[in-house]
A and B are shown apart, each in its own frame.
Chain A
Amino acid sequence: MKWAVIAFPGTNCDEDTRYLLAERLGQSARVIWHQETRVGDADLVVLPGGFAHGDYLRCGAIARFSPVMDAVREHAERGRTVLGICNGMQILTEAGLLPGVLLRNQSLEYRCHWTHLRVHAPDRAFLGHTPAGAVLRMPISHGEGRYQCAPQEAEAMLANGQVLLRYCDERGAVNQAGDPNGATAGIAGLRNARGNVFGLMPHPERACDPLLGGEDGLVIFRSLIEAMHE
């Protein structure tokens, strides 16, 4: 599979993501600078974590206007896969490729720790065979990760399978104790209605090696690779 990892000024997880894909998973992966106007022949596009354009104005608000984003939007409109991690998810919401918005954490603290995530809805493309109710462990690292959308929109997305991951405690219960930022319905990751754009605030690429404390993030990348081969 060919992966394009987009780097904006201030992105800082592009190399981690490229390393994981290329060195650990044997994929063809290259970093594409935000001034480029194409994503080439990439099958999958990743918007990695960081602080694109310094998070000025609002996270992701300026990145939306970077030249490469027209190509990312076109890629998504063609039904191809886009994965947004952390700042990448913030960019996807600002660009209107995912609904809702990410706001300052309720605690006002920058949170950088491991979280538990409950698989709310199974999703073949992004989560493979992981069943609903499974608990994954991945770290977060964000100051503005409080997912917000209208309550009725959240209800609809919880019902129709767009919400894939919710913060939970270690036993899998979705509650305040497991929620690091005060997100609507504890939403940590969701996809668009079409099912080809997925954004999540936790960092799966930081949970792909026992040395780093866990490998639960691998399920996302492996599922995407498998789905592309089908």
Chain B
Amino acid sequence: MTDSTPDLTLYTIGARVTLRPAVLDPQGQAILRGLHALNFPTVEDVQAGKYFRLSVRAANLNEAMATASDACERLLANLVIERFILTPEGAT
């Protein structure tokens, strides 16, 4: 047997990690000031965050999402101050 995971699919999951609304985001505020200086007066708020693209091999999308969620909870986000949103972005 050359492939030990023949029935598994490679799912791409996007994970967006942002600060919780109550947490001051000086980086986002600095970017907002920069946009205002560049004459983007209609931009009212900016939140800076992190984006991770996870390639997860799993039997189905639910399983891949569960793995990504676990990864966010245990490492990619610090839930004391951050929250995360997962988005399926494709499968191969």
Determine whether A212 belongs to the interface, using a CB cutoff of 8 Å to chain B.
no
Task: Tell me how many residue pairs across A and B have CB atoms closer than 8 Å.
Answer: 30
Point out the residues of chain A lying under 8 angstroms from B26, CB to CB: 104-108, 182
Q: Which of A65, A100, A148, A182 has the most CB of B within 10 A?
A: A148
Contacts of A100 in B (CB 8 A): 80
Residue of A nearest to B48 (CB): A104
Q: Is A94 an interface residue (CB 8 A)?
A: yes
Q: Is the CB of B80 within 8 A of A58?
A: no
Which of B27, B75, B78, B80 contacts A104 (CB under 8 A)? Answer: B27
B24 touches A182 (CB 8 A): yes
Q: Does A177 contact B (CB under 8 A)?
A: no
Q: Mark A116-148, 1 if CB is under 8 A from B, else 0.
A: 000000000000000000000000000000101
Question: Within the complex, what minimum Cβ distance (angstroms) separates B7 from chain A?
Answer: 31
Chain B residues, CB < 8 A from A61: 75, 78
A108 engages B27 (CB within 8 Å): yes
C-alpha gap A104/B26 in the complex (Å):
8
CB distance from B71 to the nearest CB of A (A): 12
Q: Is the CB of A101 within 8 A of B81?
A: yes
Roughly how many angstroms separate A101 CA and B30 CA in the complex, as a whole number? 21
User: Contact size class for A?
Assistant: 10 to 19
Whole-angstrom distance from the CB of A14 to the nearest CB of chain B? 25
* Cβ A106 vs Cβ B24 within 8 A: yes
User: 1/0 per residue A88-108: CB within 8 Å of B?
Assistant: 000000100000110111111
Q: How far is the CB of B88 from chain A (nearest CB, A)?
A: 23
In the complex, per-residue mask of B52-92: 1 if CB is within 8 Å of any chain A CB, else 0: 00000000000000000000000110101100000000000
Chain B residues in 8 Å Cβ range of A108: 26-27, 30
* A158 neighbours in B (Cβ, 8 Å): none
Q: Which of A43-81 contact B (CB under 8 A)?
A: 57-58, 61, 65
- Whether, in the assembled complex, B23 has its beta carbon less than 8 Å from a beta carbon of chain A, the answer is yes
Residues from chain B with Cβ under 8 Å of A146 in the complex: 24
Given contacts A57-B75, A61-B75, contact A101 B27 (CB under 8 A): no
Residue of B whose beta carbon sits closest to that of A93: B80
Most chain-B CB neighbours within 10 Å: which of A58, A65, A106, A146? A58
A66 to B: closest C-beta gap in Å: 13
- CA–CA, A106 and B23, complex, Å: 11
A101-B24 in contact (CB<8A): no
> Which of chain B's residues have a CB closer than 8 A to the CB of A104?
26-27
Of A65, A101, A182, which contacts B80 at CB under 8 A?
Answer: A101
Give every chain B residue within 8 A of A107 (Cβ-Cβ): 26
A-chain residues with CB within 8 Å of residue B75 when the two chains form the complex: 57, 61, 65
Q: Would you mind naming 11 contact pairs between A and B with Cβ atoms under 8 Å apart?
A: A57-B75, A57-B76, A58-B78, A65-B75, A100-B80, A104-B26, A107-B26, A108-B30, A148-B80, A149-B80, A182-B24
Measuring CB to CB, which residues of chain B are less than 8 angstroms from any residue of chain A?
23-24, 26-27, 30, 75-76, 78, 80-81
List the 8 closest pairs (A to B, CB-CB), nearest first. A101-B80, A106-B26, A101-B81, A108-B26, A101-B78, A108-B30, A58-B78, A148-B81
